[in-house]
Amino acid sequence: MALVFGKELLDKANKEKYAIGAFNFTNLETLQGIIRAAEKKRSPVIVQTTEGTIEYMGLKNIVALVHVMAMDSDIPIVLHLDHGRDFGLVEKCINGGYTSVMYDGSSLSFDDNISGTSKIVECAKLMDVPVEAELGQISTESDMFTDPDQAADFVSKTGVDFLAVSIGTQHGPFTAPPKLDFDRISVIKEKVGIPLVMHGSSGLSFEDVKRAVECGINKININTDIRQVFSAAVRDVLKDESIYKIRPYLSKGRDAVQKNVEKHIENLGSCGKV
């Protein structure tokens, strides 16, 4: 199956009130683990890269790798750019084979965020590539949370397809259990109607994730969990200092990623949606 566009999957998830996992990969093995998990659970999946991963792996290499793996798979796969802040790089992804992109102007003023996002949306529409934007800044500090009225204005003025909202999560490992603002999710959803995205989801309880989905989240980003389980599995194998072949420890990391992603997919309600 060829890669599919993100809007196709997330509009369906929005209508049927479930979420799709968006999992970051940084090498062949993490990508294999994610796709194998989705195939086993018969779930659509979003595989995504940061700007740092593009610098590490190379944009053309990423696109070629994911396109080939998608052609060999029978599940819908989206290739998404996560937190694209470099305008030029976002454009390269749009024109270079990504089937969904995020332009992150959340650190800008409200007006500048609208301006930058609108330009990306205009460019992306030429290639039928949907755009995710962020309003508010992903943080546990309530003064950084997304304002529902601003969200409605932002979506109306930009024509963005998906909106990442700040409701109490954070990127990276949590130092204390977060307190999510579920009511805010519901209000934003009522005002904008489009699929909502929750970043910083690694480490959340499955109960909180389920409740967030019930309130209107349709895309759940998972990155830190992938890194942690992969690294832990590799470290465990390399305790044996006689091991020097690469496949034995990388394959353990891949298998750990698959198990972790399977659990997330089960929790999001996307099992059997293929």
Which residue numbers are catalytic? 82
User: Residues with Cβ < 8 Å from 122, sequence gap 6 or more?
Assistant: none
| Cβ proximity of 212 and 273 under 8 Å | no
Read off the tokens for 69: 């793996």
Burial (0-12, 13-18, 19+ Cβ within 10 Å), 202:
buried
Which residue in this structure is represented by tokens 């930009």?
A: 158
| Cβ proximity of 168 and 179 under 8 Å | yes
* CA–CA gap between residue 72 and residue 75 (Å, rounded): 9
* Residue of 13, 45, 1, 11 lying closest to 265 (CA atoms): 45
Q: What CA–CA distances, in Å, run from 18 to 56, 142, 168, 197, 211?
A: 33, 26, 20, 12, 11
Beta bridge partners of 47: 23, 79
Which residue in this structure is represented by tokens 């309003």?
A: 135
List of E strands, 50-150? 77-84, 100-103, 131-135
Q: Tell me which DSSP letter residue 105 carries.
A: -
* CA–CA gap between residue 209 and residue 255 (Å, rounded): 23
Residue type for position 252: K
* Residue of 232, 234, 238, 192 lying closest to 215 (CA atoms): 192
